[in-house]
Amino acid sequence: MFPSLLPTYNRADVAFVRGEGSYLFAEDGQRYLDFGAGIAVNAFGHAHPRLVAALTEQAGKLWHTSNLYRVPGQEALAKRLVEVTFADTAFFTNSGVEACELAFKMARRYQHVSGHPERFRIITFEGAFHGRTLAGIAAGGQAKYLEGFGPKVDGFDQVPPGDLKAAEAAITPQTAAILVEPIQGEGGVRVLPAEFLRGLRKLCDERGLLLIFDEIQTGVGRTGKLFAYEWLGITPDIMPIAKGIGGGYPLGACLATAEAAKGMTPGTHGSTYGGNPLGMAVGNAVLDLVLAPDFLPHVEAIGNYLRQQLAGLLAEHPMVFEEVRGQGLLLGLKLRVPNTDFVAAARKQGLLIVGAGDNVVRLVPPLVIEEAQVREAMAMLSAAAKSLAASGKKTEAA
Ligand SMILES: *Cc1c(COP(=O)(O)O)cnc(C)c1O
């Protein structure tokens, strides 16, 4: 019989019933240390009292009114996001891919109203991930996500990441924008060189293109800055965000400069649920927490500590680990054993981590972890590595 739940995921056989801070509790009472955070979403862990209060308080007042009316929470959150970023304006969505979709539409529309209706193509990079709608998989360009879904949505041209010459060569009279993740998360925590990203900025300026940074995974404190572009000394024109901004509530946004957004006049875009009062209550509370003094320095410091510990782990298990990558609390371990095996072995030890492309596992814990959780995770990672090395020896002997 066909599963009543559409079987598009290879799910682990564990169901969680409760969360507290950086820990999750399964049906059988087993406790797990969560270094996956719902795939880099639960920036403040599980059941953070401030976020619970924000959501439940709003839930008792008003859930949804639609965007036919003013939504005060949207006005407040947009104003705050504008104050702390390069952006002049924000549109709220329910997910990352919707924020990306608006970024694509906005870039095309910008060129359209700038006297270049012929410019609609967007240059993207191999290994990218921009979500799973038809435009999202075309932008990401990964064969495994495109296969069997008919002709790829037109308008996305892919080049190797890190190759400025290739990006320049891909520009045609039809190019509207360049789209890049400052760190490719899904693709394997691949940090793109600052020089390369600055080069893209320059290229866009010279050629009248918009620069779109997909900060859905890197944003909202994940790298130790509010947004990863702050490390680079440049700003994008358009920036889809999601994941961390909702802390687990489905929320995204597309931020942009006034210039980039100038084509988005009434009627050009919309969403029934986007920016509903529940999401806005949580988003504003998340921003309170992430903007608190000392919070981002904490992320940077604990990220450096974790990274240092991971370097030690690597030295201890050179047959299992190849490399440590990433920044802040967006860290990856490139493995010499299949990453799916390692994720399962870590889970057996009580640690949740997430696979990524390029045979990498991602360590993307809640941003609120402390050194005690890092030490706990290190012990479990080490035990998982030992268990795999031991089973590897057994297969060799057999
Ligand atoms: C997760 C992610 C997306 C897609 O977000 P959804 O909420 O799953 O639609 C897009 N881009 C990046 C960089 C992401 O990490």
Token pair for residue 36? 């996956």
Q: Which helix (H) or strand (E) holds 103?
A: helix 96-113
Per residue in 335-364, pLDDT (tens digit) is 999 999 999 999 999 999 999 999 999 999
Cβ–ligand 1 distance for 32 under 6 Å, the answer no
Ligand 1 pocket test: pick from 92, 97, 101 the residue with the most ligand atoms within 8 Å of its Cβ. Answer: 97
246 lines ligand 1 (CB under 6 A): no
157 is catalytic: no
- The tokens describing 21, both together, are 């801070």
What's the 186 CA to ligand 1 centre distance in angstroms?
A: 9
How many whole angstroms from 140 Cα to the centroid of ligand 1? 10
Rounded Cα–Cα distance for residues 96 and 99 (Å): 5
Residue-wise pLDDT tens digits, 182-229 = 999 999 999 999 999 999 999 999 999 999 999 999 999 999 999 999
The DSSP bridge pattern shows strands 183-184 and 238-241 to be unpaired
Domain with CATH 3.40.640.10 in the chain: 50-290
Confidence at 299, pLDDT banded by 50, 70, 90: very high
Q: Ligand 1 pocket, 222 CB below 6 A?
A: no
Under the banding of pLDDT at 50, 70 and 90, the label for residue 391 is confident
Give the domain 294-391 fold. Answer: Aspartate Aminotransferase, domain 1 (3.90.1150)
Ligand 1 contact, 215 CB (< 6 A):
no
| Catalytic-residue membership of 105 | no
User: Domain 50-290, CATH 3.40.640.10 — does that match?
Assistant: yes
pTM, two decimals, is 0.97
Radius of gyration of the chain (CA): 21
Banded pLDDT at 393 (limits 50, 70, 90): low
Spell out the SS3 assignment of 200-215.
HHHHHHHHCCEEEECC
Q: Is 227 marked active-site?
A: no
The total number of residues shown for the chain amounts to: 398
**Which of 214, 227, 321, 342 is flagged as catalytic?**
214
Given the residues 86, 104, 129, 342, select the one marked as catalytic. Answer: 129
What is each CA distance from 254 to 95, 122, 148, 240, in whole angstroms? 10, 17, 29, 4
- Chain centroid, CA 312 distance in Å: 27
